[in-house]
Structure 1
Amino acid sequence: MKIVFAGTPEFAAVALQALHEAGFTIPLVLTQPDRPAGRGMHLQPSAVKQYAVAHNLPVAQPLSLRMDSKDPQRAAEAKEAHERLLATDYDAMVVAAYGLILPRSTLDIKPCINIHGSLLPRWRGAAPIHRAIEAGDAETGVTIMQMEEGLDTGPMLLMERLPIGPHDTTGILHDKLAAMGAAMCVKVMRKMELGVVEAVPQPEAGVTYAAKISKDEATLDFTASAREIGRKIRAFNPFPGAHGSVNGVTIKLWNAEVLDADSSAAPGQVLAADAQHGIVVACGSGSLRLTELQKPGGKRLPAAEFIKGFPLDGLRFA
């Protein structure tokens, strides 16, 4: 099969690599335009573009695929991309975390297959991995589905499940699901080649939406339960990084252990900050042992190392 691939971050690059190494012909790769990144804010290509360029795969980076955009530049680039797709010899498009909406004009050219990091219909939308951890889900997985105009509403072609471990962060789970999704996508495309793939409608019950993560969400409220806060810390690692404030200094919290013991201290109060007990903080119910922290301009450090340079005895997280 000849496959047009559309994707942007590392999650998508893993799938592109799997399809390419499996021997599928990839006549075109779509990815988002280069973005400023790093301290110098220099333009950086996406992970997908980096793989495509390294393996001499043709790349297009339109700002939009919507030819009806009110922005003249976006509309012009969308028209150019549409015409290029029409002129490209391909059998299906595979989409993974592309970041642009595929309009009906694109969906109608050839079948469009999406790699989605959740057990649909749970966690349709932009941030399924974060939201699954934040909600305390016991499992997640990958769904390969055929795309339609609705948000992740299309029929399912393959689904596989993965338990969420008690210490899994979004970063850890991302890598597991990226590898899983890549292998599943190759499997589905092989079935499409043979004409034996089966599409199953999504259940109507159990629909939830994974809204895009905002940086504001990463500010922790220590009046919440320790379990809830612990899930947020794991969900927002590595992005955007959960944090609290001590004496006006923002401290990022990268990892923590949930302790069930309640305390009469005010939420956010540091109950211990020493080599024997670690850094223990009171919450609305239960408490947290913070195990990895970072001060502004500093490195991520284990708790024992962090308190050497930033004593927390008697202080309180706000």
Structure 2
Amino acid sequence: MRIIFAGTPEFAARALEALLAAGHQVVLALTQPDRPAGRGMVLQGSAVKKVALAHGIPVFQPERLKDPATHEAVRAACVDGGAELMVVAAYGLILPQAVLDLPPRGCINIHASLLPRWRGAAPIHRAIEAGDAQTGITIMKMEAGLDTGPMLLSEAIDIDPQDTTGSLHERLAGLGGKLVVAALARFDQLAAVPQPEAGVTYANKIDKAEARLDWNQPAETLARRLRAFNPFPGAVLTLAGEPVKVWRGDVVVASGRPGQVLAADANGIMVACGEGALRLTELQKSGGRRLTSADFLHGNPLRPD
């Protein structure tokens, strides 16, 4: 099938690669504009742009799609390029109805949750943070609402107890590519099933302010946040007046005043929480690298309160 692809990060790039490997012809790739990245803050193209250019696919990078003039590239891809369908995955820009109406066979989205649970921008983070046992991929038809369209195909996977957003993202990216290829292979035979009204939740975009650990919370809640915010934005605590990111930790049976350091040794830094305690096992100071708690304590001695 001749298609338009709209996406930006690695999750979307994996789907684009799967579609190309399956023999689909991508006549246009929409992706967000180049952004500064890395220590030198050099402008870098998105993961989708890199895949598209490597395959000779024209790339269109509007700042937004509100202006009707920005719709012409999509219109031309449909009228002149013969694109029948648009596939969208983590694009990051709102597609107005005028754009959704351009492809003759509509637009479909690869969403990283089992809809209607976790509609919105951060479904992988929120599923881990909430302690969900499962998540998955839903292929849905797009409409003007936020991830409200009828569902074509879905597949669930278990969330492992040690999954981080990074590890779960990796598995879901592969599943998304597999499922969108399967959907296109029998597109005309798939029934569009409306999403149920019950069970709707929203995965709000991650705010960096959420990353600060609140020791009044139960240890189990904080442990899930460590995993949900790994690799972005990283959970944060303050030691000696400086922010320190915490990448790994586990719940232990102990008690004390919330925020009290109960132990600091080669096994980890144990901090009392509202319920139980959290043993921190991987930390990172600003500008430094990730260290095991043992290595971290060599350079940053810490005594129990």
Report whether the alignment pairs 1:229 with 2:222.
Answer: yes
String of CA shifts for 1:83-106, please: whole Å, max 9, x gaps: 434433111110000001111111
Partner Cα distance (1:85, 1:219) in 2: 45
Report whether the alignment pairs 1:279 with 2:269.
Answer: yes
Partner Cα distance (2:76, 2:122) in 1: 30
Gaps of 5+ in 2: none
Q: What letter corresponds to residue 211 of structure 1 in structure 2?
A: N
Partner Cα distance (1:312, 1:146) in 2: 54
Match 1:306 to one of 276, 296, 302: 296
Q: Which runs of 4+ in 1 moved over 6 A?
A: none
Q: What letter corresponds to residue 266 of structure 1 in structure 2?
A: R
Partner Cα distance (1:271, 1:245) in 2: 16
Q: Match for residue 70 of structure 1?
A: none
Contact 2:27 2:77 in 1 (8 A): no
Gaps of 5+ in 1: 68-74
Partner Cα distance (1:119, 1:134) in 2: 16
Q: Match for residue 295 of structure 1?
A: 285
Q: Match for residue 261 of structure 2?
A: 270
Q: Match for residue 171 of structure 1?
A: 166
For residues 86 and 65 of structure 1, do their structure 2 counterparts lie closer, same or farther at Cα, with a shift above 3 Å needed? Answer: farther
What's the CA shift for 1:82? 4.3
Q: Match for residue 45 of structure 2?
A: 45
Partner Cα distance (1:167, 1:312) in 2: 27
Q: Match for residue 87 of structure 2?
A: 94
Number of aligned residue pairs: 302
Q: Match for residue 112 of structure 1?
A: 107
Report whether the alignment pairs 1:133 with 2:151.
Answer: no
String of CA shifts for 1:108-136, please: whole Å, max 9, x gaps: 11210100000100000000000111111
Equivalent runs, 1:37-76 vs 2, <5 Å: 37-67=37-67, 76=69
Aligned-residue CA RMSD (Å): 1.2
Q: What letter corresponds to residue 281 of structure 1 in structure 2?
A: V
Q: What letter corresponds to residue 35 of structure 2 in structure 1?
A: R
String of CA shifts for 1:268-307, please: whole Å, max 9, x gaps: 11111112x4221111111111111101111101111111
Q: What letter corresponds to residue 289 of structure 1 in structure 2?
A: R
Q: What letter corresponds to residue 216 of structure 2 in structure 1?
A: T
Contact 1:139 1:164 in 2 (8 A): yes
Q: Match for residue 29 of structure 1?
A: 29
Partner Cα distance (1:124, 1:136) in 2: 16
What's the CA shift for 1:150? 0.5
Q: What letter corresponds to residue 8 of structure 2 in structure 1?
A: T
Q: Match for residue 124 of structure 1?
A: 119
String of CA shifts for 1:212-233, please: whole Å, max 9, x gaps: 1011110110110000000111
String of CA shifts for 1:132-170, please: whole Å, max 9, x gaps: 111111111110000000100001011111111111000
String of CA shifts for 1:236-281, please: whole Å, max 9, x gaps: 000011010012111100011111x231x22111111112x42211
Q: What letter corresponds to residue 27 of structure 1 in structure 2?
A: V
Contact 2:78 2:84 in 1 (8 A): no
Q: What letter corresponds to residue 268 of structure 1 in structure 2?
A: G
Q: What letter corresponds to residue 11 of structure 1 in structure 2?
A: F
TM-score by length of 2: 0.96
Contact 1:114 1:145 in 2 (8 A): yes
